[in-house]
Structure 1
């Protein structure tokens, strides 16, 4: 069975809410989900895959190798893609300079292009093989252009899945830019410019893969008007009114609660021993100036109860003072409602998790869309204005922490959390994918 969705000229229609497929005409889809990125990029795709599987569909996930265990934990068939995102973020990796010094969009896209040059041919061949007996592609992250290219070459439907806005709009500038206040036409132009720059960076590797894998001539223009599903909360990013009808804000894609999971006794004892602590965690971020960040944290949180998740940071936890309780990977939906505030990097997944928990954020962004999310939280009054991770010090961090303790900020955070927790983002995305595929069947 093929969904039969074709990419063609833009057809602007009034937005509509996707409806679940009629059980009487239900067709089991065989879907391939492909993504490459950090844990924050892969986790929502695993959540989407788990939702599709629960709805009766056959799902294969191609992803960065570190996501394999998470996929297996949710009974998703998984194949690792070539490449190592942790090495890319580590000292000496393609994104190291951005992490330590900041950088512009051109610098970021050059780093992304290095990843594409190293891996595109293998990703394209692997996806093409996987799609021989499958119906549609859902693509995301740094593998997005590979998903578009293979879908086009094989005549298979290709649906975008993203965790930050990429579709042009007048409402706000590109998520790769700081949260500037610009005229509407300039906002839209920034999206078009950034998307053009990204395409030009990826295009040589994509065209080489198209020729080698399918014997196709080089493509000059990037694909347009494909369905795009955003696993983001409409309470953080309301759906722009000028978007194509097939560009949908679904709500956050979160994993179901882990049955039988219990926190380690040491963590439970720490939480029970005093007031709610401050959470500190930078997820998959690595390669930043650890000494500078740790110095600011230790000085600001002097004596204050703190939970610290080292993630991929490489921070020497043995050197942290005793008020820092170090934890391993812990489900956000269990942990974050038990803290007073969260200091984090502003990744899409962590941003949504903290917001859903109903607690204020302190965002120290390093790269990419992290500045965008910092701006969204600040605009909603649940976080102070961000300070870039490479520019943080104890004085700035202390002022940000004081902001999160204000009663009005805590009230806003609690209200936002209640609203986000009521969303059904995975269900809406599954219904949308079924609708796109059912439409193609006529």
Structure 2
């Protein structure tokens, strides 16, 4: 990645570390009244992070394909898809359109969002799961504290505990939405894939816990690009290149977000038996893992930036089928009584002073000399009846915007899209979030004036904005955008993007290729990948025990810690270990008291029964909500307080010893080895990259140890930093240790000779001296990494294997839910609710393959 030389980190400054980044961001950023973050990139922050971004990221020389060239697969696999959405009705509505489009391919779709949208979602024939959180409360808070969701300044100040509790509630709700039965019908549901918007925060973590694919979709830019800054960033820079400043703004906003919510997310991860995300990885998780991303806006308004990779698409706005609507007589009479009015409305925005806003709007309408329809919205705007003003309740924008001359609104992506689709000039009065971004984009396209921040809105500038919208120039620009948008099919393109990024080959069931596999049967001569339905059919027909079917994950996500050098890497691991030990020591004394209060607080005498998640009715029963039998347990007995308190203390003591040995024998040595592997990049011809175990984070010039560049041969093998493959269990740990040792000894010893030779060839005698220095540093670091990694990496793998065996509650719960859904699918097949499934042929194919039959004969059997 090419950068200006003045972005180099001055030699006298210390290397970048997460602690340095946190301090620099705090010292050199500020949140404005409009919620955007002031970024001073001429400060130490800009100089430090310029090197960070240059080292971590790669900018592709060839632009990725535009949205119209998304791979379109012939898709037949039926998936359970949960769509996790946090936000207002305008945020939920586009995903309803997406859900209905996904249903056309046979997918079963569940929308997981706030409880208040239950009826709205189900009215579109989609399943629903409540995740908690109050969108009205969230919108009111956002108006008072615009910017990040929620305001990171307020989070760090510790004065919005209620909002943090709301985030924690929604995270837990998102997890349950992946595995819990339908709250109304009690029909089992386990997610096969997840779609989510970034403010929900949970999709990637839920996908990691279940071993399934995840795809993010959003209406505002959330991916680093040089084309424009992050919508929540206000860049102040004279010396820093503008495109670079744009690019780095995304990293800083992500860092601020993680500073505010990282502890909440990690606490929730622990509750579902996932390890906490390292502080260095949290802000960059989506980018490091290369999570597929689809942006839901029209490329006619904002084209896809050239530096976005192929797993990122711009697909067009999502529009649902226009609802059938007949206007109330009063509205119909008003529309017929004069020229088309101007629409004014702020939707789900909760305004502090609705009376003042009402008076302002009425005055602006009078000054502009227009007729207006003013939506009451969540703020319940309203005043006395006037001949030129109609106060509007609920009305679909798809119908209404066909009958107005211009629109004035808060700039939500859905409302903006609907106005432009109908060719209406638009004035945006942004409150927070992506709204200023959409205001700028509309103005840049000539379809409206510059956005008016709501704090600066008055009757005069609003009247002037309305006058601008009524000009022929604005109408022509809006009409041109509408023509292009009508040629797009955003929701269809988004489904194609989703399908194109799914791991189809790893996901297919061997017996029913139209269903994803989640079980492995290894008792036969050939292992078989089986779907929930296939496993249920085989188990019920052949009376096979469940223990013969092992869980299978079609898409593993591995999150590992990056190490920049051995000093900071080992120091960070040591601090993490010390923190754990301090918490465990405190828990020895504090947790017994917590356990005592918990027992005292629980009213055991009132407990009649407890549900374990709704086990299925016997196969002979008719399946409906009434026939689902929740497992009843006997009334639990009040536990012995002294014994429970002692167990709580001993549990903390056990954690203390576990963290001590893991930290000293695994974490710190692994961090040292990873840091040593990164050193050659600082002295060689390639930029320094942190060593990583994440399979999705190998970027730039880093390479997996043991896989040298065949094109460039041995020279490429010894150059630059290297990474090992993901360590997920004792086997992968042993392989990583062996490969690191072989690489370190071979490449490290070669550096002592090769680097001086290269230096002499390039710069003569002085080059040979410099090459010798590089060879010594690189050779020593590689050989040391090999020696330490030979022991540390197998230890890390063994630790993960032990942890998976110890903390297996989440895995067991997921497996239980999948098995329950398989039983329900078997019942549905018997009742004829799943179409034509030839059970006899499925069983016959299974028996044939179990006896060692050839896979090529499967088609003949099935």
TM-score (structure 2 length as normaliser): 0.47
In the other structure, the counterpart of 1:415 is 480
In the other structure, the counterpart of 1:312 is 378
| Structure 2 residue ranges without an equivalent (≥5) | 1-56, 182-187, 508-862
Q: Secondary structure at the match of 1:234?
A: coil
How far apart in 2 are the matches of 1:179 and 1:253? Answer: 31
Aligned match for 2:91, one of 23, 41, 64: 41
Shift of 1:330: 2.0
Report if the CA contact (8 A) 1:31-1:134 is conserved: yes
Shift of 1:378: 0.6
Report if the CA contact (8 A) 2:131-2:169 is conserved: no
How far apart in 2 are the matches of 1:386 and 1:132? Answer: 44
Q: Secondary structure at the match of 1:354?
A: helix
How far apart in 2 are the matches of 1:244 and 1:146? Answer: 23
Shift of 1:266: 2.2
Shift of 1:265: 2.6
In the other structure, the counterpart of 2:170 is 119
How far apart in 2 are the matches of 1:420 and 1:45? Answer: 18
Q: Secondary structure at the match of 1:61?
A: strand
Aligned match for 2:419, one of 340, 350, 354: 354
How far apart in 2 are the matches of 1:96 and 1:332? Answer: 23
1:163-218 Cα distance to aligned partner (Å, 9 max, x none) = 11101100000012359998100000111111221122221111111101125244
How far apart in 2 are the matches of 1:115 and 1:322? Answer: 44
Q: Secondary structure at the match of 1:70?
A: helix
Residue 369 of structure 2 is aligned to residue 369 of structure 1: no
1:138-181 Cα distance to aligned partner (Å, 9 max, x none) = 011521x2111111122111110111110110000001235999
Aligned match for 2:213, one of 133, 154, 157: 157
Q: Secondary structure at the match of 1:32?
A: strand
In the other structure, the counterpart of 1:4 is none
How far apart in 1 are the matches of 2:476 and 2:59? Answer: 42
Aligned match for 2:265, one of 198, 202, 206: 206
Shift of 1:328: 2.5
Report if the CA contact (8 A) 1:113-1:201 is conserved: no
Q: Secondary structure at the match of 2:136?
A: helix
Residue 406 of structure 2 is aligned to residue 406 of structure 1: no
Report if the CA contact (8 A) 1:211-1:218 is conserved: no
Residue 100 of structure 2 is aligned to residue 50 of structure 1: yes
Greater displacement, 207-216 / 420-429: 207-216
Greater displacement, 403-412 / 295-304: 295-304
In the other structure, the counterpart of 1:97 is 144
Q: Secondary structure at the match of 1:95?
A: helix
How far apart in 2 are the matches of 1:132 and 1:155? Answer: 16
Task: Select the structure of larger CA radius of gyration.
Answer: 2
Aligned residues, how many? Answer: 425
How far apart in 2 are the matches of 1:109 and 1:422? Answer: 44
1:282-303 Cα distance to aligned partner (Å, 9 max, x none) = 1110033323322221111126
Change over 3 Å in CA distance of 1:244–1:439 after alignment to 2: farther
Shift of 1:274: 0.9
Shift of 1:104: 11
Shift of 1:107: 4.5
Greater displacement, 336-345 / 62-71: 62-71
Greater displacement, 245-254 / 326-335: 326-335
How far apart in 1 are the matches of 2:81 and 2:207? Answer: 12
Change over 3 Å in CA distance of 1:262–1:108 after alignment to 2: farther
Change over 3 Å in CA distance of 1:364–1:215 after alignment to 2: closer
The higher-RCO structure (CA 8 Å, 6+ apart) is 1
Report if the CA contact (8 A) 1:21-1:434 is conserved: yes
How far apart in 2 are the matches of 1:180 and 1:411? Answer: 35
How far apart in 1 are the matches of 2:137 and 2:478? Answer: 35
Report if the CA contact (8 A) 1:108-1:368 is conserved: no
How far apart in 1 are the matches of 2:219 and 2:296? Answer: 5
Report if the CA contact (8 A) 1:293-1:392 is conserved: no
How far apart in 2 are the matches of 1:173 and 1:108? Answer: 23
TM-score (structure 1 length as normaliser): 0.88
In the other structure, the counterpart of 1:65 is 115
Shift of 1:377: 0.5
Aligned match for 2:403, one of 310, 316, 338: 338
In the other structure, the counterpart of 2:455 is 390
| Structure 1 residue ranges without an equivalent (≥5) | 1-8
In the other structure, the counterpart of 2:499 is 434
Shift of 1:117: 4.0
Greater displacement, 265-274 / 360-369: 265-274
Aligned match for 2:278, one of 199, 219, 229: 219
Residue 133 of structure 2 is aligned to residue 83 of structure 1: yes
Residue 21 of structure 2 is aligned to residue 21 of structure 1: no
